[in-house]
Amino acid sequence: MSESISKTQYLQTILELSSGDETTKISNNQIAEHLNVTPSSVSNMLAKLQEAGEVDVVPYYGVTLTEPGRQTALRLIRSHRLIETFGATKLGLSISEAHFNADNLDHDADVEFVDALERFLDFPKYSPHGLLIPDANFNYEQEKLRTLREAKDLETVTLNSFTEDLELLQYVETVGLELGTTWTIKERLPFDGPLVLSDGSRDVQVTQHAADFIFIND
């Protein structure tokens, strides 16, 4: 992975974890967990991004994006999610396959291509895994949602969206979780074990870690 791609992925991650809220500070541990990197790697990259004027780091509190950093993140997210949508809706790819290929194309797509792709797709609002697509003016007001882990025992929930992570998308496909489906939290297994979900016909176990990146409707 080149350094330029790495930097933009960090910016994208900060924006996504904050749900677009410019005031929400994101911790190094949150970023490390999301990107599957070490906290020291996060610290090193945030130092570079701060020097470049793309993030503001407040020691012990977290990081926020500057306006230049936010614009870079929004451009990447818009490109990525439109390419994902094309792959899933027009090419018949699974969500994880569409995501994987978008990761390899989104950084090189110019504005004219992305705008043309949006028109071709008839201006979709959400990506195949339920995340908001910034419009051509980079408007982005992602609603704040609860995670699956935050659901109460015996609560019935509807799956709203999945975080943009290849392993997570492959995981939900493997266990058979789809957006818009409704599940009841039957129980939580001991020792920080998985959540047991039921749709009335079958049970599915979802790890606590995965549940942090699956969002539900209130």
Residues 41 and 125 in one domain: yes
The residue among 142, 164, 184 that closes a domain is 142
Residues 175 and 104 in one domain: no
The side-by-side arrangement of strands in the sheet containing 146-147 is: 146-147, 214-216, 156-162, 182-188, 195-198, 203-206
> What is the model's pLDDT at position 129?
93
Residue 14 contacts residue 73 (beta carbons within 8 Å): yes
Residues 2 and 71 in one domain: yes
The tens-digit pLDDT sequence of the chain (218 residues) is: 344 446 778 888 898 888 777 788 999 998 988 888 888 999 999 999 999 999 999 988 899 999 999 998 899 899 999 999 999 999 999 999 999 999 889 888 999 999 999 999 999 999 999 999 999 999 888 778 899 999 999 999 999 999 888 889 999 999 999 999 999 999 999 988 999 999 999 999 999 989 998 999 87
> What is the model's pLDDT at position 96?
95
Please tell me the total count of domains within the chain: 2
Residues 102 and 37 in one domain: yes
CATH of the domain at 189: 2.30.30.90
Interatomic CA distance for residues 67 and 14, integer angstroms: 13
> What is the model's pLDDT at position 6?
64
Give the range of the structural domain holding residue 160, as residue numbers without chain letter: 146-216
CATH of the domain at 54: 1.10.10.10
